[in-house]
């Protein structure tokens, strides 16, 4: 996909991906990565297909060889807008933070965030089809997982260090037993239902 964009005259092609749409807690995180196609990290793949160990090993390799940026949208922004718009905000921020700016974007998913002013294409299942998007998925996942491990130390009992805020059995049970934290997404049904029980 990167080579196809290059053949149309683009030179700085960024892959953009986000992670954290489904969790009940924590921010949504996006990364934008411009790879050097002549010096690709070995074994790049969709972050969901990699073991945690392999992902952790690839992260510094990508950072050493690529131009990248990571950005977030907060729980407040998720609740204020909605999860789709918040994930697009995180993507827009990651792209804006790239220096120098890319001239073309490959965006994971079927929608292009509305405030991007750079030529872009949406790539469905992009993390399996574009190495730049795969690299972005790894950086976003690693960054978000670290945030959730930090939050797990401040708010023990929810298992965020293992479930990253996703609605695992332990997380759902803790919501009922311990209650809702400031890091829970109030607009998400399981959280909303606990807050507004009759």
For residue 19, list its beta bridge partners.
29
Per-residue pLDDT averaged across 145-158, rounded?
A: 98
Q: Which CATH number fits domain 2-146: 2.40.390.10, 3.40.50.620, 3.30.920.30, 3.30.420.10?
A: 3.30.420.10
At residue 198 the predicted structure's pLDDT band, cuts being 50, 70 and 90, is very low
* 3-state DSSP assignment of residue 18: strand
Tell me, what's the pLDDT at 89? 98
Task: Report the mean per-residue pLDDT for the chain.
Answer: 96
Residue 56, pLDDT > 60, answer yes
* 3-state DSSP assignment of residue 25: strand
Per-residue pLDDT averaged across 16-44, rounded?
A: 96
The domains of the chain are located at: 2-146
d(CA 50, CA 179): 33
Residue 152, pLDDT > 50, answer yes
Residue 64, pLDDT > 90, answer yes
pLDDT in tens, 88-126: 999 999 999 999 999 999 999 999 999 999 999 999 999
pLDDT in tens, 126-147: 999 999 999 999 999 999 999 9
Read off the pTM: 0.96
d(CA 44, CA 10): 22
Residue 197, pLDDT > 80, answer no
Q: Is the peptide bond before 95 cis (omega within 30 degrees of 0)?
A: no
In 95-175, beta strands by DSSP E: 104-108, 120-123
* 3-state DSSP assignment of residue 108: strand
Residue 19, pLDDT > 50, answer yes
**Residue 27 DSSP class:** -
Tell me, what's the pLDDT at 46? 82
């Amino acid at each position: 996909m990167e080579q196809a964009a290059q053949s149309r005259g683009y030179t700085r092609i960024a892959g953009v991906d986000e992670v954290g749409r489904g969790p009940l807690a924590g921010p949504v995180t996006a990364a934008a990565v411009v790879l050097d196609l002549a010096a690709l990290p070995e074994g790049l793949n969709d972050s969901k297909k990699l073991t945690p160990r392999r992902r952790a090993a690839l992260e510094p390799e990508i950072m050493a060889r690529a131009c990248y940026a990571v950005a977030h949208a907060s729980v407040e922004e998720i609740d204020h807008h909605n999860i789709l718009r918040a994930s697009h905000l995180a993507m827009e921020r990651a792209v804006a933070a790239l220096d120098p700016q890319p001239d073309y974007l490959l965006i994971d998913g079927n929608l292009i965030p509305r405030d991007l002013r750079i030529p872009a294409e949406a790539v469905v299942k992009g993390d399996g089809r574009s190495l730049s998007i795969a690299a972005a998925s790894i950086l976003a996942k690693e960054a978000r997982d670290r945030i959730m491990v930090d939050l797990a130390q401040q708010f023990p009992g929810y298992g965020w260090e293992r479930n990253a805020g996703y609605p695992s059995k332990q997380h759902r049970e803790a919501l009922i037993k311990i209650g809702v934290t400031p890091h829970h997404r109030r607009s998400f049904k399981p959280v909303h239902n606990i807050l507004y029980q009759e």
